[in-house]
Amino acid sequence: MFDAMDVGMLSFIIAALKADWNLTPEEMGWIGSINSIGMAVGAFLFGLWADRIGRKNVFIITLVLFSLASGVSALTTTLTVFLILRFLVGMGLGGELPVASTLVSEIAPSSDRGRIVVLLESFWAVGWLLAAIISYFIIPSFGWRIALLLSALPALYAIYLRLKLPDSPAFSPKKIEKRSVLQNIRNVWSKKYARSTFVLWTLWFTVVFSYYGMFLWLPSVMVMKGFSMIQSFEYVLIMTLAQLPGYFSAAWFIERIGRKFVLVTYLLGTAASAFVFGAAESTGLLIASGILLSFFNLGAWGALYAYSPEQYPTVIRGTGTGMAASVGRLGGILGPLLVGSLVASGYSIGFIFSIFCGSIILGVLAVAFLGQETRKIELADI
């Protein structure tokens, strides 16, 4: 929830900073992309650390890092310093997300594991909702700095986690053989796991590329389509509400039909919605396709986080999941930059969103033809 609140507010803050600092489309794109550069670095490094010092320790470190960096960014007066702090925020976010899903995967029973991880991820929608509410009521009246100061509050939650959160029963320094970081990285691409790694890297790249390209620009795209900043915040808030039923329906299907079904179905729904949203001219079609985009895309995200830790054994689970998320974040770097560059070059929103539609189809093909179904499989048996 806190992760999503920060990322969600950034999409609204970019729109506010454009007016406050007279940013160009390329500079707006860099704000989103530097966040993803940090996430790529964080997912990789903290994923490795999670297999060395434990899931709980890394979870708390990353929470404190992103909260404090986000709060301090409220005090900046230049784009350069803001970008440096957003890189640190991204490191914390990128490390926390895959480690959290790995921790919960290892605690949950196999019969409910997928559903529980998707429900964990559903709080991303709650965070986006909070971000939209804060952005709608706080930014226009009190400014973007106050909104960012609120994002520092999760650092206090780390104290509670330090005292109360159990570590994964699957991970124990006594149980886990001592292995080097390079051994773990090599293992992820060993013959036994190479196919799973290829599928995950393809999925993560295409999903993150399209998500950050589309959703970080959503309020700004609404403004480009002729709506005021306040109107765009209202419509994005409505679209955000659709994320929760997207997650809940995915949680229901993932244990009844399987991971591959949810990923393929929801990603196809995302691709179709993105295509219609990009081409939409009327307000009704824009909101309807935006609602469906949120519903399908976030349902697919939940399934992706459930699916990823199930591809590897305990000794390399943090490394494998973190590396896949890190590759995904490279897509998150390119997505916002691509939108900024194409908008500046005069390309239509419809053309830009059709690129995201095509990338999602590539992810669908990878999981449909090469992915293995992991429903009900015990993690100890992988």
Per-residue pLDDT tens over the stretch 177-204: 667 889 999 999 999 999 999 999 999 9
The pLDDT tens digits along the chain (382 residues) read 988 888 888 877 888 888 889 888 888 878 877 888 898 999 999 999 998 888 999 999 999 999 999 999 999 989 999 999 999 999 999 999 889 999 999 988 888 999 999 999 999 888 888 887 888 888 888 888 998 998 888 888 888 888 888 888 876 655 556 678 899 999 999 999 999 999 999 999 999 999 888 887 777 777 777 777 667 777 777 887 888 899 999 999 999 999 999 999 999 999 999 999 888 888 888 889 989 999 999 999 999 999 999 999 988 999 999 999 999 988 888 888 888 888 888 888 889 999 999 999 999 999 999 999 998 888 776 6
Cβ 66 vs Cβ 43: under 8 Å: no
Cα–Cα distance for residue pair 195/186, rounded to 1 Å: 14
Tell me how many degrees the CA angle 366-367-372 measures, rounded to the nearest 5: 125
Residue whose C-alpha is closest to residue 17's, from 3, 31, 7: 31
Residue whose C-alpha is closest to residue 53's, from 6, 122, 114, 103: 103
Residue whose C-alpha is closest to residue 285's, from 347, 342, 225: 225
Per-residue pLDDT tens over the stretch 95-136: 998 899 999 999 888 889 999 999 999 998 888 888 878 888
- Domains of the chain, CATH where assigned: 2-163+186-376 (1.20.1250.20)
Number of residues that this document lists for the chain: 382
Cα–Cα distance for residue pair 57/49, rounded to 1 Å: 9
Cα–Cα distance for residue pair 235/222, rounded to 1 Å: 8
**Which spans in the chain are helix H?**
2-21, 25-53, 55-72, 79-107, 113-137, 139-142, 144-150, 154-164, 181-188, 194-215, 218-224, 229-241, 243-256, 259-279, 283-307, 314-344, 349-370
Task: Tell if the pTM clears 0.85, that is, is over it.
Answer: no
- The count of other CB atoms within 10 Å of the CB of residue 213 is 28
Classified as helix, coil or strand, 90 is helix
Cβ 292 vs Cβ 273: under 8 Å: yes
Residue whose C-alpha is closest to residue 18's, from 309, 279, 222, 303: 222
| Dihedrals phi, psi of 351, to nearest 5 degrees | -65, -45
One-letter amino acid for residue 129 of the chain: L
For residue 79, CA distances in Å to 7, 82, 168, 176, 332 come to: 17, 5, 40, 44, 20
Per-residue pLDDT tens over the stretch 266-282: 999 999 999 998 888 88
